Structure 1
Amino acid sequence: MKADTKQAPPISIYDQPLKLNNGTQLNLRELNGKKILFVNTASDCGYTGQYEELQQLQNKYAATLIVIGFPANDFAEQETRNDGR
C-alpha cells in the first residue's frame, strides 16, 4: 500500500510579505495584476549603472510593471552599506 503523499498547495508569491528598508511591509497582493521584476543588487558593483535603466523601465511601464530591488552582500562585499547609508 502506498503512503499518502499529498503535498501542501504551492504558496503564491502574492502571499509573501516583503519587509522594506523603512521597516514597513509591502503586501504583494496590492500589486496583483502587475508584472514584478525582482532585481538582486549591490551598490558598489560595477553594474550599478543599470539602476538608471531599471528606473526608466519602471517609469515607462508603471501601469503594468514594478521593479523591486533587493540589496545583497553576496557579491564580494559589494553591498556593505546599511539602510542609514
Structure 2
Amino acid sequence: MSVYENVLKRKDGSEFGLDELNGKVLLIVNTATGCGFTPQYKGLEKLYEEYKDKGLEILDIPCDQFGHQAPGSDDEIHEFCTLTYNTTFPRFAKSEINGENELPLYTFLKSQMAEDSVTGPINKTIMKGVEKLSTSCKKAGDIKWNFTKFLVDREGNVVGRYSPTTKPEELEKEIKKYI
C-alpha cells in the first residue's frame, strides 16, 4: 500500500483521493479546535503560505478522540479555523485516527512510523502527561494526542512523525529537505 492509495472525506462528504497529491510533500496533522496545541494552526498556515507553491500540502484532519477537543460540526470547525487562524490549507471531515474505526490512512502512517519524535526534556515530560490523559491510545504506534504530524516526501515515503509538542516552525528545516 502507498499513501496515495488512501481516500479522505471532505467536510461536504465527497471523497478526495490522495493520488491527486502524488509528487507533493505532505504534512498530515490530526487537529482539534479546543486543545492547548490549537494555536499551532498559526504556524501551520505560515508553513503553508511559504511552501505551497514549492510543493507542500498540509492535510488537516480534525479528530475528537482526545479529550473531546474537536466539538462541533465539520462546518463549525472550518469556520473556527478560517476566522481565528486564517487557515487556507485543505481541511477534511472529522475522523477517528485510532481504534477499529480509524482512517485507513492512519493505519498506513502508523505502520510506516510507529513512534513520535520528541525532543528536549520538557517536551518529553509534557508528552508523558498527555499519554496518561489519552484514552484512545491503546496499542503501540497509536497516536497519543492532537497535533501529531506526519511528513511524507514526494515519493510517498513517511519520513517523519512528530509529537504534538513539536511546533510547525520547527519542521521547516525538514520540509526544506524534501521540497
Normalising by the residue count of structure 2, what TM-score does the alignment of the two structures yield?
A: 0.40
CA shift digits 1:34-63 (9 cap, x unpaired): 111110111101211110110110111102
Matches within 5 A, 1:7-26: 11-26=1-16
| Letter of the structure 2 residue corresponding to residue 79 of structure 1 | A
| Segments of 4+ moved more than 6 angstroms | none
CA radius of gyration, larger in = 1
Q: Paired residue for 1:48, among 24, 38, 42?
A: 38
Q: CA deviation at 1:25?
A: 1.6
2:55 aligned with 1:64, yes or no?
yes
Aligned length, in residue pairs? 75
Distance between the aligned counterparts of 2:75 and 2:28, measured in 1? 22
- 2:72 maps to 81
Structure number with higher helix proportion: 2
User: What are structure 2's unaligned runs of at least 5 residues?
Assistant: 77-179
- 1:6 maps to none
Q: Decide whether aligned partners of structure 1 residues 48 and 14 sit closer, same or farther in structure 2, where only a CA change above 3 A counts.
A: same
| Letter of the structure 2 residue corresponding to residue 20 of structure 1 | R
Distance between the aligned counterparts of 2:51 and 2:75, measured in 1? 30
Distance between the aligned counterparts of 2:67 and 2:17, measured in 1? 31
Structure number with higher strand proportion: 1
Distance between the aligned counterparts of 1:18 and 1:84, measured in 2? 16
Q: Decide whether aligned partners of structure 1 residues 23 and 49 sit closer, same or farther in structure 2, where only a CA change above 3 A counts.
A: same
CA contact 2:11–2:75 (8 Å) conserved in 1: no
Distance between the aligned counterparts of 2:47 and 2:24, measured in 1? 14
Query: RMSD of aligned C-alpha atoms?
Result: 1.2
% same residue: 39
- 1:8 maps to none
| Letter of the structure 2 residue corresponding to residue 49 of structure 1 | P
User: What are structure 1's unaligned runs of at least 5 residues?
Assistant: 1-10
- 2:20 maps to 30
Distance between the aligned counterparts of 2:14 and 2:30, measured in 1? 20
